[in-house]
Amino acid sequence: MAIGSMWKRCCLAQDRDLICHIKTGFALLLTLPLLLFVITCFYNFSFKPVKHPQTSFNLVNQTQSYNVATEGKKFVWNLLTDHQIIQTVHHHVAHPSNYHFILDEPDKCKQNPFLVLMVPVAPHQVDARNAIRSTWGNESSVQGKAVLTLFLVGLTGGPEAQQQLEEESRQHRDLVQSNFVDSYLNLTIKTLVIMDWLATRCPQAQYSMKVDSDMYLNLENLMNLLLAPNTPRENYITGFLMWDQNVIRNKKSKYYVSEELYPEPKYPTYVLGVGYVFSSDLPKKIIEASKDMKPFNIEDAYVGTCLKRLGIKPSRAPDPSQFQTYMKDSKRHDLSKVITTIARSPKQIIEFWQNVKKTENNR
């Protein structure tokens, strides 16, 4: 009997130990997710420069961060990795007050340019920048009016690429860089940062133009438009007008916009983002209007919604055919008459430029 009792007590002790181990393991399973949640909340709260928590929209955000020393300052950089995460963040993250310039050319407008050309471009697209620098971006005076060309980029994605970009900046003095993730879904941020630079660094210019890095631009024709006596000096924006455009609700489309962000079924009339020119009073007004507008990733349509809120309608160009998209046959088309058209490569920008110059020299 004594042996039986001892055996039972031993079994009970083992059962208690087993139960204890199970309880401990279960407690750890509950504690670890909670700890991870707390760390994640702390990380998001600490590093996201969001000021107003009213509403939210989907944005490709960072999946890792690291510190980089740039000109004696330390920045926490948000990187876009191959595994992009769609994350909910507050909509005022698009406002330029949340960002600062890492590379800047604040004294460029001391020359009082008549026209400022702002080119949004990816950091790695050096060939595109060099093609523009060797063609239309090389013109500093057109018909006696000063012209300035600058490139705007976001974060490079790594210290080596940043070092190369800084070297390029020292060489050409035409780069402006802000600390946002440079991605397709952040084009609205990129455009508002351009508007912020123009409003704060170059309000004395008469006109500005947002022109993509894959565009051929004929500055002579553009200047003819801007110097025409009937061209407005205020509340003016023109280019390739987009009328009666449906909002894409297909979630599989890169142009998808949710009803939460834009409830109307159609966009207001807006100017196609590949290249539009505007009077210098508009950047400040657009930034102000954006404070009350939920941003979405269709940047040109978003600018159109800001203009609608301001009561400003895009102007139809006197000759709309001067603002082209893709040309079906560029060899047959008279490039000397256009203001803008899309080129298929940096090489084609140079070819278009050379063809027009050859035609002008043969006249």
Residues 104 and 81 in one domain: no
Residues 75 and 177 in one domain: no
Q: Tell me if 260 sits within 8 A of 270, measured CB to CB.
A: no
pLDDT score at 331: 64
pLDDT score at 360: 82
Which CATH number covers residue 312? 3.90.550.10
Q: Tell me if 132 sits within 8 A of 149, measured CB to CB.
A: yes
Span 68-99, pLDDT tens digits: 333 333 333 333 333 333 333 344 678 899 99
Residues 106 and 193 in one domain: yes
The reply to whether 159 falls in a domain is yes
The pLDDT of residue 67 is above 60: no
Residues 79 and 135 in one domain: no
pLDDT score at 94: 82
pLDDT score at 68: 37
Q: State the angle between helix axes of 282-290 and 187-201 in degrees (0 to 180), rounded to the nearest 10.
A: 130
The reply to whether 20 falls in a domain is no
How far is Cα 172 from Cα 302, in angstroms, rounded to an integer?
32
The percent of residues in the chain predicted with pLDDT above 70, rounded, is: 73
Span 154-196, pLDDT tens digits: 999 899 999 999 999 999 999 999 999 999 999 999 999 999 9
CA proximity to 242, closest of 321, 304, 322? 304
The reply to whether 65 falls in a domain is yes
Span 259-269, pLDDT tens digits: 999 999 999 99
Tokens of 205: 């210019």
The reply to whether 161 falls in a domain is yes
How far is Cα 310 from Cα 287, in angstroms, rounded to an integer?
11
| Cα diameter, the chain | 121
Q: What is the pTM of this model?
A: 0.77
The reply to whether 43 falls in a domain is no
Residues in the chain: 363
Question: Which domain, by its residues, includes 68?
Answer: 57-90
CA 239 to the chain's CA centroid: 19
CA proximity to 119, closest of 172, 176, 160? 176
pLDDT score at 197: 98
